[in-house]
Amino acid sequence: PAPGIKGGALAGRHVLVTAGPTHEPIDPVRYIANRSSGKQGYAIAEALAALGARVTLVSGPVSLPTPAGVHRIDVESARDMAAAVETALPADVAVMVAAVADWRAETSAGQKIKKDGSGAPPVLPLAENPDILAGLARNPRRPRLLVGFAAETENVVDHAIAKRARKDADWIVANDVSGDVMGGDSNSIHIVTRTGVESWETMPKAEVAQRLATRIADEFA
Ligand code: CTP
Ligand code: CA
């Protein structure tokens, strides 16, 4: 390629990646969250950038450095993540790796919630968060390749097949989290497409990322 122009199988493509957990506020000092480290999503963003893609990484709160060549947008809640994803469109590919909180506190208190002395804990009504992946599938600017992740602890492939159809994603990358995966360095995955299932041996998250980036690039070859 000419100087200053990025070569690579995904050169000229815009890829959107979501990663990390979301934090759903309860009051100014408390939130609902989950154990996602963001490692897998960050590794995927890095691997896609290494193939020449322009990568926008919409990230929940994590303690990871921004991968080289990646444009990172930090968000906290699921609703913030949904808005940042919409703003980042159009994209050729979206890879939704974030562990989006399924529920948020229905209202976030303006002040720190105090114990009232009665010993009765406060009731915390929940509301369901928007499904960012399913929303993108229905978006008029839907990316050409829409990839979801699914962390499952049992019936991994069956759940992923149902999830792909329900959300109308092109692929679901199903992650078997029955072992010690969340926060760990290895993943055991199956790629569920519209036409079948590709199962990969257990491998480090960095290798999953590289192979997935290559697999994505093959779709644009
Ligand atoms: N996802 C999303 N927005 C949500 C929930 C999930 O975009 N509110 C995306 C995730 O980023 C992931 C995929 O959907 O790519 C599957 O997430 P998962 O939590 O496995 O699916 P759910 O539909 O939330 O089902 P479950 O009840 O198994 O958690
Ligand atoms: Ca979920």
pLDDT in the model for residue 187: 87
At CB < 8 A and 24+ separation, what contacts does 208-214 make? 208/40, 208/43, 208/44, 209/40, 209/43, 209/44, 209/46, 209/47, 210/47, 210/50, 212/44, 212/47, 212/95, 212/173, 213/10, 213/44, 213/47, 213/48, 213/50, 213/51, 214/9, 214/51
pLDDT in the model for residue 1: 52
Whole-number Å distance between alpha carbons of 139 and 89:
10
- Residues in the chain where the model's pLDDT stays below 70: 1-6, 179-184
- Quote the pTM value: 0.95
Closest ligand 1 atom number to CA of residue 135: 7
Mutate which of 35, 80, 126, 131 for ligand 1? The one with the most ligand atoms within 8 Å of its CB, which is: 131
Q: In angstroms, what CA-CA distances link 168 with 41, 65, 206?
A: 21, 32, 27
Task: Name the residues around ion ligand 2, CB cutoff 5 A.
Answer: 102
Residue located nearest, by CA, to atom 17 of ligand 1: 150
pLDDT in the model for residue 144: 98
- Report the greatest alpha carbon distance in the chain: 71
pLDDT in the model for residue 7: 78
Cis omega before residue 90 (within 30°)? yes
Distance of CA 167 from the midpoint of ligand 2 (Å): 12
Mutate which of 32, 58, 77, 96 for ligand 1? The one with the most ligand atoms within 8 Å of its CB, which is: 96
pLDDT in the model for residue 180: 62
Q: In angstroms, what CA-CA distances link 211 with 51, 155, 178, 208?
A: 11, 24, 22, 5
pLDDT in the model for residue 4: 53
155 is catalytic: no
Contact call for residues 38 and 64 (beta carbons, < 8 A): yes
- pLDDT tens string 120-174: 999 999 999 999 999 999 999 999 999 999 989 899 999 999 999 999 999 999 9
| Pocket lining for ligand 1, CB < 6 angstroms | 18, 78, 96, 98, 100, 102, 129-133, 148-151, 163
Looking at residue 120, what DSSP letter applies? P
pLDDT in the model for residue 156: 95
Whole-number Å distance between alpha carbons of 81 and 24:
11
Whole-number Å distance between alpha carbons of 144 and 151:
23
